[in-house]
Amino acid sequence: MILMKKILINATNLNEGGGVQVATSFLKDLTSLEHLKDIEWSVYVSPAVQRNLNEIFFDKKFFIEYQIVEPKEISFLNSYKLNQYDVVFTVFGPMFLPLYRGRHISGFAQPWVIYPVEDVLKKFSFIKQLFFKFKYSLISFVFRHADILVVESSHIKNLLIKKGFTNQIAVVENAVSSVFFNEEEWKEINTDVFDSNKINIGVLSGSYPHKNLDFVVKLAWKLENTYPNTFNFIFTIRPDKFKMLTHGIQISSLRNLGLIQITQCPDFYRQIDAMILPSLLECFSITPYEAMLMKRVIFLSDREFFKESCDSHAFYFDPLSIDQAEKVLSDWFFDTCQSKRVSHINAAHEFVINKSWSVTKANSYMNLLLESL
Mean pLDDT computed over 288-300? 97
Model confidence, pTM = 0.91
Q: Alpha helix (H) ranges present in the chain?
A: 18-30, 47-53, 111-114, 118-121, 126-144, 154-162, 213-226, 239-245, 265-270, 287-293, 304-310, 322-335, 338-353, 358-371
Q: Check residue 362 and report its DSSP letter.
A: H
Q: Are residues 143 and 187 in the same domain?
A: no
At 120, the pLDDT band (50, 70, 90 cuts) reads very high
CA–CA distance, 316 with 298 (Å, rounded to integer): 9
Which residues sit opposite 87 in a β-bridge? 7, 103
Q: Are residues 191 and 96 in the same domain?
A: no
Q: Are residues 124 and 221 in the same domain?
A: no
Q: Are residues 307 and 211 in the same domain?
A: yes
Strand 87-90, strand 65-68: pairing: unpaired
Q: Are residues 201 and 333 in the same domain?
A: yes
Q: What is the pLDDT of residue 2?
A: 58
Q: Which range (15-19, 66-70, 261-265, 308-312) has the least confidence?
A: 15-19
Mean pLDDT computed over 58-86? 86
In a domain, 320, yes or no: yes
In a domain, 1, yes or no: no
Is residue 5 predicted with pLDDT exceeding 70?
A: yes
Q: Are residues 101 and 38 in the same domain?
A: yes
Q: Are residues 334 and 364 in the same domain?
A: no
Is residue 38 predicted with pLDDT exceeding 50?
A: yes
Is residue 356 predicted with pLDDT exceeding 80?
A: no
% of the chain surpassing 70 pLDDT? 99
User: Three-state DSSP class for 169?
Assistant: strand
Number of domains, the chain: 2
Mean pLDDT computed over 51-67? 87
Mean pLDDT computed over 192-220? 94
Q: Are residues 154 and 230 in the same domain?
A: no
User: Three-state DSSP class for 83?
Assistant: helix
Is residue 307 predicted with pLDDT exceeding 70?
A: yes
Domain that holds residue 195: 181-353
Q: Which range (33-47, 82-96, 174-188, 305-319) has the least confidence?
A: 33-47
Q: What is the pLDDT of residue 61?
A: 82
Strand 315-317, strand 103-107: pairing: unpaired
Mean pLDDT over each residue of the chain, to the nearest integer? 92
Is residue 348 predicted with pLDDT exceeding 50?
A: yes
Q: Are residues 98 and 189 in the same domain?
A: no
In a domain, 139, yes or no: yes
CATH of the domain at 254: 3.40.50.2000
Q: Are residues 97 and 245 in the same domain?
A: no
Q: What is the pLDDT of residue 174?
A: 87
Q: What is the pLDDT of residue 1?
A: 46
In a domain, 239, yes or no: yes
Is residue 75 predicted with pLDDT exceeding 90?
A: no
Q: Which range (34-43, 168-177, 237-246) has the least confidence?
A: 34-43
Q: Are residues 313 and 271 in the same domain?
A: yes
Is residue 171 predicted with pLDDT exceeding 70?
A: yes
CA–CA distance, 62 with 46 (Å, rounded to integer): 18
Q: How far is CA 359 from CA 8, 28, 30, 267, 286, in A?
A: 19, 9, 7, 22, 15
CB 213 within 8 A of CB 203: yes
Q: Are residues 158 and 139 in the same domain?
A: yes
% of the chain surpassing 90 pLDDT? 73
